[in-house]
Chains A and B, each alone.
Chain A
Amino acid sequence: MSKSELAFVRHEILPEQTPPITDAGIVKWLRDNLFPGPINTILTLVAIYFLFKLLSGAMPWFWNGVWTASSLSECREILNGATGGCFSVLTERWNQLLFGFKYPSEAYWRPTLAFVLLLVSIAPVLFSMLPRKLLILTVLYPFVAFWLIWGGTILTPLMILLGFVAGYVAFRRVEAKGFGTAALLGIAVTVVFWWLGGYISSAAPNVVALTPVPSRDMGGFMLNMILGTVCVSLSLPFGVLLALGRQSNMPIIKWMCVIFIEFIRGVPLITLLFVANVVLAYFLPPGTSFDLILRVIIMITMFASAYIAEVVRGGLAALPSGQYEAANSLGLDYAQSMRLIILPQALKISIPGIVNVAVGLFKDTTLVSVISMFDLVGMIRGPILASTEWNGIYWELWGFAVVLFFIVCYSISQYSQWLEHQLQRDHR
Chain B
Amino acid sequence: MKKTVFLGALTVAGLTAGVAGAATLDDVKARGKLNCGVTTGLVGFAAPDANGEWQGFDVAVCRAVAAATLGDPSAVEFVPTTGKTRFTALASGEVDMLARNTTWTLSRDVDLKNEFVGINYYDGQGFMVPKALGVSSAKELNGATVCIQTGTTTELNLADFFRANDMEYEPVPIETNAEGQQQYLAGSCDTYTTDSSGLAATRATFENPTEHVILPEIISKEPLGPLVRHGDPEWGDIVRWTLNSLIAAEEYGITSANIQDMAANGTDNPEVNRILGTEGNLGEMLGLENDWAVNAIMAGGNYGELFEKHIGENTPVGLARGLNAQWKDGGLLYSPPFR
A residues adjacent to B (C-beta < 8 A) = 72-73, 76, 92-93, 96, 101-102, 216, 245, 256-257, 260, 274, 277-287, 290, 298, 301-302, 370-372, 374, 378, 381-389, 391-392, 394
Q: List 7 additional contacts besides A301-B3, A382-B40, A386-B46; criterion CB under 8 Å.
A: A282-B14, A282-B88, A284-B10, A286-B92, A378-B40, A385-B41, A387-B48
User: What residues on A are CB-neighbors of B201 within 8 Å?
Assistant: 391
Question: In the complex, which of the residues A101, A384, A394 has the most CB atoms of chain B within 10 Å of its own CB atom?
Answer: A101
Question: In the complex, which of the residues A76, A101, A386, A389 has the most CB atoms of chain B within 10 Å of its own CB atom?
Answer: A386
User: What residues on B are CB-neighbors of A387 within 8 Å?
Assistant: 41, 43, 47-50
21 contacts between A and B (CB under 8 A): A96-B52, A274-B84, A279-B88, A280-B7, A286-B18, A286-B93, A301-B3, A372-B79, A378-B40, A381-B178, A383-B41, A383-B48, A385-B41, A386-B42, A388-B315, A388-B317, A389-B50, A391-B43, A391-B201, A391-B204, A394-B182
Which residues of B in the span 1-60 have a Cβ within 8 Å of any Cβ on A?
1, 3-4, 7, 10-11, 13-15, 17-21, 27, 39-44, 46-50, 52
Contacting residue for A392 out of B21, B93, B206, CB 8 A: B206
Determine the distance from Cα of A72 to Cα of B316 in the docked complex, in whole angstroms. Answer: 11
Whether B11 and A283, one on each chain, are in contact in the complex, defined by CB atoms closer than 8 angstroms, is yes
Determine the distance from Cα of A382 to Cα of B56 in the docked complex, in whole angstroms. Answer: 14
Please tell me the number of chain B residues within 8 Å of chain A, measured between CB atoms.
50
The contact string, 1 if C-beta is below 8 Å from chain A, for chain B 274-316, is: 0000000000000000000000000000000000000000011
What residue in chain B is nearest A282 (Cβ atoms)?
B92
Chain A interface, DSSP helix/strand/loop, else mixed: helix
Whether A372 and B81, one on each chain, are in contact in the complex, defined by CB atoms closer than 8 angstroms, is yes
User: What residues on A are CB-neighbors of B18 within 8 Å?
Assistant: 285-286
Q: Is B205 an interface residue (CB 8 A)?
A: yes
Whether A386 and B41, one on each chain, are in contact in the complex, defined by CB atoms closer than 8 angstroms, is yes
Whether A286 and B17, one on each chain, are in contact in the complex, defined by CB atoms closer than 8 angstroms, is yes
Whether B80 and A374, one on each chain, are in contact in the complex, defined by CB atoms closer than 8 angstroms, is yes
Whether B21 and A286, one on each chain, are in contact in the complex, defined by CB atoms closer than 8 angstroms, is yes
User: What residues on B are CB-neighbors of A256 within 8 Å?
Assistant: 1
Whether B182 and A73, one on each chain, are in contact in the complex, defined by CB atoms closer than 8 angstroms, is no
Which residues of B in the span 65-87 have a Cβ within 8 Å of any Cβ on A?
79-82, 84-85
User: What residues on A are CB-neighbors of B7 within 8 Å?
Assistant: 280, 298
Determine the distance from Cα of A286 to Cα of B42 in the docked complex, in whole angstroms. Answer: 29
Determine the distance from Cα of A370 to Cα of B176 in the docked complex, in whole angstroms. Answer: 13
Known: A286-B19, A387-B47. A372 touches B80 (CB 8 A): yes
Whether A388 and B4, one on each chain, are in contact in the complex, defined by CB atoms closer than 8 angstroms, is no
Closest A-B pairs by Cβ, 9 of them: A386-B41, A392-B205, A285-B17, A283-B14, A382-B40, A382-B41, A281-B92, A101-B52, A386-B47
Determine the distance from Cα of A80 to Cα of B145 in the docked complex, in whole angstroms. Answer: 32
Whether B181 and A392, one on each chain, are in contact in the complex, defined by CB atoms closer than 8 angstroms, is yes
Whether A371 and B85, one on each chain, are in contact in the complex, defined by CB atoms closer than 8 angstroms, is yes
